[in-house]
A and B are shown apart, each in its own frame.
Chain A
Amino acid sequence: MKGSLALGIAALAMCCAAVAQTVPPLPSSDAAPGCMAGTGVAAAEVRLPQIGNALANKRKLTILTIGASAASRTPSRDYYDIIERYLERMFKGLDVEILDRGVSGELARDAAERIKLEVALDSVDLVLWQVGTFDALARVAPEEIAQTLAETAKWLRAHKIDLVFIGLHYVRSLETDATYQAIREAVRRVAAEQGVLRIGRYEAGEALAKARLGQSADDFDATSSGYACMAETVARALAAGLFGRMMPP
């Protein structure tokens, strides 16, 4: 009896470890294999408890996306479809619904108000907020954005909703743009202070750009394929949120 119990516990532990270590392959995508490898993408050990609750209790995960709607070269490679399929394949029986409420060019302050409205209208478990890029282009003060992000993060936490920041895009011509870099730093700082998972899109894009150095692809091509790479990374990060650490590519 005791032997059977021990064997059962060991099997369960091995199973959990196997699930923790093993990541099902993504459907074919435009992203280069292991596109995030070696990028050091921000993957702080941030848990996403509400995803865990959704998985355990209702088997349905509702994700609200705010910020610019992502582009793709073909409709079938839609950014959020990649995330949705990945999570549904990884967690059998989980129904993932993504509410894309992105308004392209919207500033963080307006997005923050809409987040509260959209959360009130739908039972949202997680907010994916693509933040910073258009505020930087609109030359909004970094302190203003930092305050908006912090207040919104606190509000969402008080309402038991997980939050993930998807950081600014990487563009070579903006490497020396002081405002752009200041806002990027503000997003990183708020994420660290508020314990919010941040997807380091800028770092990933920078690494990809270095990898492409010498190739003919310019930033315009990189942006499009970068979205597939980012979708892959977001999906892994969300899955990892259940285990508190980044899944290997």
Chain B
Amino acid sequence: MSRPRPYLLLAPALAVVIVLFGGGLLLAVGQSLGLWPIIGPSQLSTAAYRTMLADAAVWRSLALTLWVGVVSTAVSTTLALICALALRRPLRGQRWVNFLFQLNIPIPHLVGAIAILFLFSQSGLLARLAYAAGLIHDPSDFPALVYDRYGIGIMLEYVWKTTCFTGVILLANLQALGADYEAAAQTLGAGRWQRIRYVTLPLLRPALLSSSILVFAFTFGAFEVPFLLGQRANSVLPVLAYRRYVDDDLTTRPEAMALSVLISVVSLALIWGYRRTINNGQRAMSNEQ
């Protein structure tokens, strides 16, 4: 096989990644540093970053983004673990349960957010059930779960989708691991919880870590759900960046770019963490054998 062949075959894909993806990121960094502005002179400067770091709204937004990300990831990973442990034994109707468990993975987040709105808003289905049960007398008595300051509706949507996503990954891992390790522990007298705690969980650790990183990275940069379900006063970083970008005041563009660069840097750091985790996981697995 001739030498230049693989590079030629890869040229179109690399063009997309380098020109569109890389070029887009580079232009964003450049514009955040004052180059190629929409209006005004092109001038290299860190003004946008200084404004961003001094802006209280940015810090509030960062806090909300981290809060939503950490809580969603923790809750969904825990639930996914419970689901995977419950679903791994093939019982009757297994194929249907497996099919339904993955059902929401290809559903767009926008529709998930709309469904959450219909269920959890103050005039939503849950509120009406509370009224029927005599718990509330008015929509405003029902706690604000959407458009609220803690992003509860946003987290509910993330948990709904990412639990199934992580659960599927964990199930695949459990099936690949097989029952041997736990069977061996059982012959040595380990009870059910002991087996889970000392055998299954450590074996699943790489998968748990890597899918947690993926989920957190996703929530950190996600736009649609918080755009629909978030409140106006304080929103997550991607929504804040978008609002600054489409602002009538064109001088806020560099700040918007700076925010989006910040989001990208965090995500890149997370890719690095992800690769570290799976590499360690692979090394651990091969050591086990």
Q: Do A and B come from one complex?
A: no
